[in-house]
Structure 1
Amino acid sequence: MSRWTLRKRLVVAVVTLLALAAVVIGFASVVSVRSVLLGRVDAQLTAATTRSSGAAESPQGNGGSFPRQEQPPVPEFVGVPGQSAGTLGAIISGGAVRYAGYLDETGELRPLTTGQVATLLSVRLGGEPESIDLGGELGSYRVVAVEAGDGAMIVGLPLADLEFTLGQLIAVISAIALGVLLLAGAASYVIVRLALRPLDRVAQAASDVSELPLDRGHVAIAVRVPDEDADPNTEVGRVGASINRMLGHIAAALTARQASENKVRTFVSDASHELRTPLASIRGYAELTRRSGEELPEDATYALGRIESEAVRMTAIVEDLLLLARLDEGRDLARDPVELGALVAAAVSDAKAAAPEHDWQIELPGRDVVVTGDSQRLFQTVANLLGNARVHTPTGTRVVAALEVDGAVARISVTDNGPGIDPSVLSSVFERFVRGDQSRQRASGGTGLGLAIVSGVVEAHAGTVAVESVSGNTRFTVTLPLVAGTVDADGRVGYGKGAASAMP
């Protein structure tokens, strides 16, 4: 029941309580009617016993002693006038039954069987009626045993009519109870459904809020619980009012967060833009000084070289920060047709030139795979993934760049057999300034922005990026939508023929 809905619990509870009430009322009714009917039978039995006793004390009865013969021709104590059909009579003398019979529907005397006679011997003498079961056609009887001469006389009346009446009563009560339960179940379902509509609207409001992208970007929470469902005088209204207050606090917090993020993005964008000029100047002057005809000391030449290289590295960091700031601002990228096969081949070629000690391999589909996007940023995405594999894996690592088409999407994957990514940082590798240095060997420094740029660029192209990593197998997969309406003879979408299939 813990998995049942509140609506189902309430309906089942109402129907169960009504069913218990019906059982109690039905049981009490049957017991009461049975008691009344049994009282009437006992009154009739008393009258029948009186008539039989009068007949037994007649002169023909020899002063109260029954004649000793196998079966009297006319047993007056059973067949006296006024006795109804089914009346039973028996004479017990000396612990044995001398005579036992009953009147059938025609008024004829019928003897009892041996088993029925044995049942009569168990009747207690004392004048108190009791119920026995004679079985066969007779069934249940109400009998009484009274003293008669030197023995006892038993008189009984059938309980068939009483049992039939009780059976009919039980059937009627059951039918009525079943009908009432069905109607009550349907009515309670409708009533509970109507009563819980405010709660459904409150739950729907909470569900709508849960689907909003609250983790990033500007979020305006316009969802609120309706005023009629936020009445503090009702239980559901208190929940609705609390949710509205909570949503107000969340909206205020998100607005403050977004304002803070906007300030940070503006600062990063402005600072990155402003740093480009002095960095270019530093790099230019260092290069100019190094290339001048003046003879410089060896340490000065080394220092100028370091200044120039660090200026180049700082410029790359500034460019990455500026790109991320622009992506955060939602600036549109170029939207041109891009052939991914050539792009991947060029990126692998550059990676091979930068790290010839790695085992670089490429797998292309042998036909053009075209997407719409910014070729420069997509190239940077593939280059960053290849650079990540180059920087964080030891010499001789096998790196495979593959391009494939699956339905209406293209997938670019970069797989290496390096040591893998530390599981503790695997879920956050696409966040900024996150580096997996603890588990992957580093050949040079890094800022932790490369994979963040990959994620930002891919999302700007309406794609997705994912990573899977275990020791000996790390795979980054980029999924991009293909150009619509480009279908080849095999039914594949988004590519034609003639793409490069091998490295240049």
Structure 2
Amino acid sequence: MSLQPAPPRARRADRAGPTDPAEPANPVTASASAPRRGWWRSAPLRTRLLLSTIALLAVVSLVCGSISLLLLRGFLIHQLDGQLGTAAVRSVALADKSQQGRGNDGDHPNDGDGDRGNGGNNRNGGNNRNGGTGLSSRNDGNNGGNNGGNNGNDGNGGGPRFLQAPGQTVGTIGGHLVGGQPTEIGVIGQDGVVRPLSGAAEDAAVAGLPVDGRPHTVPVGALGDYRLIGLHDATGQVVITGLPLAEVKAVLSRLAVIELVVVGIGLLAAGAAATVIVRITLRPLNRVAVTASRVAELPLERGDVALAERVPIRDTDARTEVGQVGAALNRMLEHVSAALEARRASENQLRQFLADASHELRTPLAAIRGYAELARRAGPEIPPDTARALRRVSSQTERMTSLVEDMFLLARLDAGRPLVTDPVDLSQLVVDALSDAHAAGPDHRWALHIPDQAVLVSGDPTRLAQVLANLLTNARVHTPPGTTVTAALDTSATHAILRVSDDGPGIPAGLLPHVFGRFARGDTSRSREAGSTGLGLAIAHAVTSAHGGTIAVRSRPGETVFTVQLPRGQGPAGPALPGVPDQGRGGPYPAVWPRS
């Protein structure tokens, strides 16, 4: 068997995908082969090593078994050919004697001694069925001699005379080939009786035998395969002799069964041993994988990270493949740890700078704002242009002060400074924040959904109020007039859930992943006209995280929802808040401003 490379068209079909226009894929082939290929690639290394080892052992065992069967078959056939050669020589000798006996009986036709006729019969090894016994009359000897010479077959049922000689084995085929046609073909049965072969298949098999003095394997009808040989006797006739291959096939079949059983048991034992060996061998790799998994679970994106995970020293031997992987992973972890330390130092330095700068900027900003207010109170003596400039100075000073305060707050939160932790009535904060938002944006519709009982959380009320104010301000600033903004408060078993939603145009999809980043803006022109510093949502995220909560956003045109989840505080629910409209406390029916 030879391995031929696939034709170019087949190779292109293998590379081409289902959408390749040059070579459309066969859906049946693709569906049948892809899962197998995918399963093997996704199988664990232990499984692939085990299956590969067992498959290799099975192939080697089958090859060795096949070679041993072929060698044994050749040996047995060679041995059978030796027996066949001996039997063929014996058959030719017996056939020559038989021909001589026939010639002697024919040379004395007028002999009156009846014993000569009987002698002819005696060469046949049976009784004279056609002539007398020779004792009936001495004048009858001519008939006896003729009968004795003419009867070449015995009384056992047919076949050549030489098959009846001692030494011929059961299953031996013998006969003559005269003019290319088989005559007197017989076989020795299991009971030792010679029986003639008269089937057309048998005659055709014997007739096609090459007479070259060499054995040939020929299927002889129902008798199976035989090794046949044809030799010329002294008279020039072809003597056919054959021995069956049934015993050879039986030996080969028994050996094949034995080999299969032994190979099967050996593969089971080898599979069990290989499983143990592979598992023990891959233990270092498992430990390396566990170390890598623990590192992957660490929050490396921010904050102080103690990257102390390392691969054990015993699994970093550079002389082994697993040790090389372990050593490389340790070196990588060292580099990552150094990078994290550098990042932490840089962040701390920047954080300290922002905190110091924000703190130092408070005083000059307050002074600028105070001098601007003082100058504006000078009265009508100030020219209009100067008054306008002073108003702009005051406005920008207020905005700068707000930015500095926001940066200072973020620096404190990044530094991990603890916040004030008091019981906070989140329901009251929502009502107050929505009222302030309505006053700041009367051109929007404001809706409120809060439960009947007060919702308590533990935290800093000032910072939580700032989270609510920033979310409502974000909805007011980035939506057109007439937009409905809804603040809804709900509870679960462990958290208070605040949702601020609007039906405005939504947040661009490209901005959503960065919406809680610092100075994140949907307006690429960095316009300050709306009064936004770009830190509102960043502060909301930082304050929520500092309280152990989460904040998330989902947006599409016509619906934007910010969801804040805070752990619920301890203590019983408070009473209904005073001053809140009844329809705002009654479950799903909201309080809406402005009212018609």
Superposition TM-score, scaled by structure 1 size: 0.88
86, 99, 102: which is aligned to 1:62?
102
Cα 1:445–1:79, aligned 2, differ >3 Å: closer, same or farther?
Answer: farther
SS at match of 1:57: helix
- For residues 51-92 of structure 1, the C-alpha deviation after alignment (integer angstroms, 9 at most, x for no partner) is 222221224663599988896535322222111111122322
Aligned to 1:73: 155
Tell me the CA shift for residue 365 of structure 1: 4.5
Tell me the CA shift for residue 361 of structure 1: 2.3
RMSD after superposition: 3.0
Following the alignment from structure 2 to structure 1, what is the Cα–Cα distance between the partners of residues 334 and 499? 43
390, 393, 398: which is aligned to 1:312?
398
SS at match of 2:288: helix
Verify the 8 A CA contact 2:456 2:570 in the aligned structure 1: no
Following the alignment from structure 2 to structure 1, what is the Cα–Cα distance between the partners of residues 171 and 311? 76
174, 187, 204: which is aligned to 1:89?
174
Verify the 8 A CA contact 2:102 2:150 in the aligned structure 1: no
Cα 1:77–1:59, aligned 2, differ >3 Å: closer, same or farther?
Answer: closer
Cα 1:423–1:103, aligned 2, differ >3 Å: closer, same or farther?
Answer: same
- For residues 421-441 of structure 1, the C-alpha deviation after alignment (integer angstroms, 9 at most, x for no partner) is 233332111111111114999
Tell me the CA shift for residue 232 of structure 1: 2.7
Following the alignment from structure 1 to structure 2, what is the Cα–Cα distance between the partners of residues 79 and 160? 22
Verify the 8 A CA contact 2:152 2:161 in the aligned structure 1: no
Tell me the CA shift for residue 160 of structure 1: 1.4
Matched, 1:397 2:507: no
Verify the 8 A CA contact 1:419 1:439 in the aligned structure 2: no
Following the alignment from structure 1 to structure 2, what is the Cα–Cα distance between the partners of residues 195 and 319? 60
399, 414, 420: which is aligned to 1:334?
420
Cα 1:108–1:342, aligned 2, differ >3 Å: closer, same or farther?
Answer: farther
52, 56, 62: which is aligned to 1:13?
52
Alignment of structure 1 residues 411-430 onto 2, 5 Å? 411-430=497-516
Alignment of structure 1 residues 455-494 onto 2, 5 Å? 455-483=541-569
Cα 1:160–1:233, aligned 2, differ >3 Å: closer, same or farther?
Answer: same
Tell me the CA shift for residue 322 of structure 1: 1.8
Aligned to 1:52: 91
Tell me the CA shift for residue 407 of structure 1: 5.3
Q: Which amino acid aligns with 1:31?
A: L
- For residues 275-316 of structure 1, the C-alpha deviation after alignment (integer angstroms, 9 at most, x for no partner) is 334433443454455457786444444344333333322222
SS at match of 1:110: strand
- Pair member with larger Rg: 2
Verify the 8 A CA contact 2:316 2:324 in the aligned structure 1: yes
Cα 1:143–1:410, aligned 2, differ >3 Å: closer, same or farther?
Answer: farther
Cα 1:39–1:484, aligned 2, differ >3 Å: closer, same or farther?
Answer: farther
Following the alignment from structure 1 to structure 2, what is the Cα–Cα distance between the partners of residues 443 and 397? 20
Verify the 8 A CA contact 2:98 2:162 in the aligned structure 1: no
Cα 1:435–1:452, aligned 2, differ >3 Å: closer, same or farther?
Answer: same
Cα 1:395–1:49, aligned 2, differ >3 Å: closer, same or farther?
Answer: same
Following the alignment from structure 1 to structure 2, what is the Cα–Cα distance between the partners of residues 274 and 412? 36
Aligned to 1:275: 361
Following the alignment from structure 1 to structure 2, what is the Cα–Cα distance between the partners of residues 135 and 477? 90
Tell me the CA shift for residue 230 of structure 1: 1.8
Task: Give unmatched runs, 5+ long, in structure 2.
Answer: 1-39, 107-123, 125-148, 578-584
Tell me the CA shift for residue 207 of structure 1: 2.3
Cα 1:485–1:376, aligned 2, differ >3 Å: closer, same or farther?
Answer: closer
Matched, 1:259 2:345: yes
Tell me the CA shift for residue 161 of structure 1: 1.4
Aligned to 1:140: 225
Verify the 8 A CA contact 2:399 2:531 in the aligned structure 1: no
Following the alignment from structure 2 to structure 1, what is the Cα–Cα distance between the partners of residues 330 and 66? 52
Matched, 1:125 2:207: no
Aligned to 1:103: 188
Tell me the CA shift for residue 115 of structure 1: 2.1
Verify the 8 A CA contact 1:57 1:63 in the aligned structure 2: no
448, 452, 460: which is aligned to 1:362?
448
Alignment of structure 1 residues 197-216 onto 2, 5 Å? 197-216=283-302
SS at match of 1:101: strand
Following the alignment from structure 1 to structure 2, what is the Cα–Cα distance between the partners of residues 181 and 485? 69
Tell me the CA shift for residue 455 of structure 1: 0.9
Aligned to 1:230: 316
Aligned to 1:33: 72
- For residues 221-265 of structure 1, the C-alpha deviation after alignment (integer angstroms, 9 at most, x for no partner) is 111122122223333323322222222222122112111111211
Verify the 8 A CA contact 1:218 1:258 in the aligned structure 2: yes
Q: Which amino acid aligns with 2:164?
A: G
SS at match of 2:442: coil
Moved more, 194-203 or 121-130: 194-203
Superposition TM-score, scaled by structure 2 size: 0.76
Alignment of structure 1 residues 422-441 onto 2, 5 Å? 422-438=508-524
Moved more, 101-110 or 431-440: 431-440
Tell me the CA shift for residue 217 of structure 1: 0.8
Cα 1:464–1:111, aligned 2, differ >3 Å: closer, same or farther?
Answer: farther
- For residues 362-412 of structure 1, the C-alpha deviation after alignment (integer angstroms, 9 at most, x for no partner) is 333545444333232222212211111111122222323233345543432
Aligned to 1:3: 42
- For residues 31-60 of structure 1, the C-alpha deviation after alignment (integer angstroms, 9 at most, x for no partner) is 111111111111111122222222212246
Q: Which amino acid aligns with 2:91?
A: S
Cα 1:76–1:409, aligned 2, differ >3 Å: closer, same or farther?
Answer: farther
Following the alignment from structure 1 to structure 2, what is the Cα–Cα distance between the partners of residues 497 and 126? 120
Aligned to 2:591: 503
Q: What is the percent sequence identity of the aligned residues? A: 48
Aligned to 1:490: none
Verify the 8 A CA contact 1:93 1:150 in the aligned structure 2: no
Cα 1:135–1:291, aligned 2, differ >3 Å: closer, same or farther?
Answer: farther
Task: Give unmatched runs, 5+ long, in structure 1.
Answer: 487-494
